[in-house]
Amino acid sequence: MPKTDPDALSQMPDGQPYADQPRWRQDFPVDVPQDTYISRREFAKFLVLTSAAFTTGQFWILWENWRRQQEPAAPVLKIAELAQIPVGGSLVFHYPTPDEPCLLIRPDANTLRAYSQKCTHLSCAVVPEVERNLLACPCHHGYFSLATGEVLEGPPQRPLPQIVLEVRETAVYAVGVELRT
Ligand code: FES
């Protein structure tokens, strides 16, 4: 149907008559009331889609929780004989999977600590500095406490995951990972 009176069909965004509009707007008039009109059907569709997304999210959370509960417990891994770890020394092992490097540190004769070797900033390998009682990340100068794994300085925001250790007779075992936030 030809437009005989554009003003009757279109209401300009600035409320001025059609004839006062710039040429580009005359060529492509926008009917503002029609353009901003939301029908009941559209609104219902929006509600249904939003509810569906929310419900899907809830089911996903339930599924993830269930899946994590089904994961096998952390393995028990013999790291080394106690006698192989010099006081003030450290060694690298992999736990709980072969691609997760960790550090076992013996700051004194009666203390053992183990942490993931991946810096919690961008995963560079941290290096123990036993004499300074810390673990240093050379990439961006992040520092972690050797006693707790907490961040002391630098860009990391989270402590290092701690490996739970057990000494059984003469050997040291990794028996779990303690994730901290
Ligand atoms: S990767 Fe360790 S401080 Fe950035």
Q: Would the CB of 138 count as within 6 Å of ligand 1? A: no
Contact 172, 84 (CB under 8 A): no
E-strand stretches of 14-161? 77-81, 90-94, 101-108, 111-116, 127-129, 134-137, 142-145, 151-153
Q: Would the CB of 118 count as within 6 Å of ligand 1? A: no
Are residues 57 and 102 located together in one domain of the fold?
Answer: no
Q: Is residue 129 part of a domain?
A: yes
Are residues 88 and 35 located together in one domain of the fold?
Answer: no
Q: Would the CB of 152 count as within 6 Å of ligand 1? A: no
pTM here?
0.64
Contact 111, 134 (CB under 8 A): no
What is the rounded CA–CA span in Å between residue 73 and residue 149?
A: 23
pLDDT digits (tens, 9 = 90+) for 27-42: 877 777 777 777 888 8
Q: Would the CB of 176 count as within 6 Å of ligand 1? A: no
Q: What is the pLDDT of residue 92?
A: 97
CATH no. for residue 164? Answer: 2.102.10.10
Structural domain of 125? 77-178
pLDDT digits (tens, 9 = 90+) for 163-172: 999 999 999 9
Using the atom order of ligand 1, give the atom closest to the CA of residue 123.
Answer: 1
Q: Is residue 159 part of a domain?
A: yes
Are residues 159 and 83 located together in one domain of the fold?
Answer: yes
End position of a domain, from candidates 38, 70, 102 = 70
Q: What is the pLDDT of residue 2?
A: 47
Q: Give 68's Cβ-side CA count (13 Å radius).
A: 5
